[in-house]
Amino acid sequence: MKKAGGTQETGEAAHCETCSVRKLALFQPLSPKEVVAAQTFRRAFRELKAGGSIFRQGSANKEIYTLHHGWAYLYQNLADGGRQILRFLLSGDFFGFQADVGSGERLHSARAITPVGLCVFSRSDLLEMFKEHLELGIRLTWMTAYEEVVAYEHIVSLGRRSAEERIAYLLLELYNRVRIRERNPQDIHTVEIPLTQELIADACGLTQVHVNRTIKSLERKNILTFQSRKLHVPDPERLAGIANHSHDFLITKPIL
Partner DNA sequence: CGCGCCGTTGAGCCCGTTCAAAAAGTGTGG
Partner DNA sequence: CCACACTTTTTGAACGGGCTCAACGGCGCG
Window of 1-9, 31-39, 184-192, 203-211 that interacts with DNA by CB under 7 A: 203-211
At its nearest, how many Å lie between DNA and the CB of residue 61? Answer: 29
What strands, in cross-sheet order, belong to the sheet with 94-95?
7-10, 42-48, 116-122, 63-69, 94-95
At its nearest, how many Å lie between its own copies and the CB of residue 154? Answer: 5
- From 211, 206, 209, 229, select the one nearest 83 (Cα to Cα): 206
Among 43, 212, 238, 249, binds DNA (CB under 7 A): 212
Give contact residues for its own copies (rule: CB under 8 A).
57-58, 76-80, 82-84, 86, 97-103, 105, 107-108, 127, 130-131, 134, 137-138, 140-142, 144-149, 151-152, 154-156, 158-161, 202-205, 244-247, 249, 253, 255
Q: Which does 184 bind (CB under 5 to 8 A by kind): its own copies, DNA, none?
A: none
Direct distance between the N- and C-terminal alpha carbons of the chain, in angstroms, rounded to an integer: 38
Q: Report the relative pairing of strands 53-55 and 109-112 from DSSP bridges.
A: antiparallel
Is position 196 an interface residue for DNA (rule: CB under 7 A)? yes
Answer whether 108's CB lies under 8 Å from 75's CB.
yes
In whole angstroms, what is the distance from residue 225 CA to residue 164 CA? 14
Q: What is the dihedral of CA 35, 13, 120, 137, to 10 degrees?
A: 10
In the bound state with its own copies, the residue whose beta carbon lies nearer, of 112 and 170, is: 170
Q: Which does 190 bind (CB under 5 to 8 A by kind): its own copies, DNA, none?
A: none
Is position 244 an interface residue for DNA (rule: CB under 7 A)? no
Cα angle: 206, vertex 198, 46; to 5 degrees = 125
Q: Which does 216 bind (CB under 5 to 8 A by kind): its own copies, DNA, none?
A: DNA
